Structure 1
């Protein structure tokens, strides 16, 4: 038996699959493949969570079989044959605690249908309507809705698309349920039970309830349906009526789409994936920061090792001067003025270490006093931070920064004063 699917399901599925493929690809690239390594852990988490429910179902509910509720077992056989489902799912009955519902689930390549006892009790004298529930859930299995959901989870987060595809699946499965009943009104009775309960569904005025669907064209009903996973029951009831026409379904308020486009559809699966991706990104940022901090500390350790001269004892001023020139020649404090360059390197004048700088006087006048004011404090800070201050004092070493013009005329000296350093 060929069963038509709801007209919007297939195009929405294609869109969801395309967006999901793109999103998964982007995640793999952004996380450098780390997200793929998390998939086994996600599968393991699902395995434990789903196994808990399946265990509860098998340990609490009743499995329908040829010897356990054979009338329901026969209905399962009839529905499976009508929709062409080759592998019949196992049907379990669970106490519903007043809830009217049925649902399909999947675990380790096995499909299950759960019927809550309240549905069966309410339809005891309308058994054909039970076929609607069984057929509806078989529709989810036949259409492989449960199988594709993990892959589609990211694409189905999108506003309008995710909720729209979910509603389209419900319309399709209602058509499957309607195909399994012997009388068309039995399918409507199945939905009427969900709408008004066990005592009133038999007396529901069918035409009035169909007419009530017109209210769904208002702004607020349109908006809340657009962000919801299920169509309004009035519209589901209308869509399976024997004389249903496409024009009978009321159109939604166009303004509702404008607001609904800002409301994503988040499922538990998508929330977990988004959280894990955020965690990966945060961990990567922290790792980069720690790497930079470690590199900085290592560099600081190297600098400290170079500058810490207190670990050695110098026997003479000459030895100290030699160490000063050798170890600090790559780290001299430079002038603040870009016209000044270190010209002749280093020279020793007794116990004085002289760094000579040549000043380019061609571009504009050079004010040495301004230079002295700007540079003196920096020079003192530089040498006081080193570890040789005590030895400078012990041997009477003086550090001189000498500035000359291009003709070697002396412009002035800036002298490092060891007495300005706080030495323990």
Structure 2
């Protein structure tokens, strides 16, 4: 059987698993709807590959596939069930009670509920009564059996402790559990913070929205003004070398977890290494994933900045350029930038920002490529890994090609 057929069999087996164990049972749940949506898109691209086989892999065939819309799916498949029980341990109340007894002196689980999404970590709401009967509401972030970016909660927890002490919008970290006997992988526990994400969509009042932009600008400026050593990371003597080393780390990860080559990614890394910004105002702690999905707002106040796993030392303009893509109103962007710069942030450099627009797309594409490698090589057969490797990979690669002005020739 060819590699393509093997991969197809894995996809279809995983599809039936989810249809049987998730979608058919609880189609009204958010979890089932999310999985159904992912597989619907995945099958569109699988059908496209089946109907349009490649004679070979070259720049033109990759570009044609990249900019072609996925085909509709009408076929019915009958394949064997594939289980991932040995790869992922279910978080149950019974397991959490064992954890409470072993690590927290006792207690009783009130709620353990998986949070939908989570493409790089598995997240859960975990409410429990402690040994004294006090209700504690927390969030668990657990490493996946194979993650898209190679970062672990062990690294993230140490960073969160430092950032919590610096008052830069981090939920209070409670514990980091390295023992895999409890949930199969290391995980961290943080205090649950109230608030909603996607605040820009939820808040139509401009005055209230402006207040949020001001708070966010102050928060990001405070982060960027911290001495980089406060992160626990060691800055390089040369800012350009700091950035070059970071790009090379991701290039190496892509090359080690590659299912098939990509001329777009090859071109991107060549361009990035040849266009390191010449002027970097300062090396700072960069969050690297600031978006509305990672900002919690409650009653007009920012309560937390979430998902710090991409955090590293680099050019502060990276955070600004990354966040800029999510701000559709120019007035909102100006309000944020004014607050940021007045609070001690660096000057926004459009010439540096373009570099980070290319970088953003390259990094995200590598994450998806690594996820696909993990799925194909049985490191983690969850549907979200296939979704990243098939659907999101193509979206980010298309974004990368457009950033580099590499659309297909016609």
Higher helix share: 1
Fold agreement, TM-score > 0.5: no
User: Which of structures 1 and 2 has the bigger CA Rg?
Assistant: 1
Q: State TM-score, norm by structure 2.
A: 0.21
Query: RCO greater where, 1 or 2, for CA within 8 Å and sep 6 or more?
Result: 2
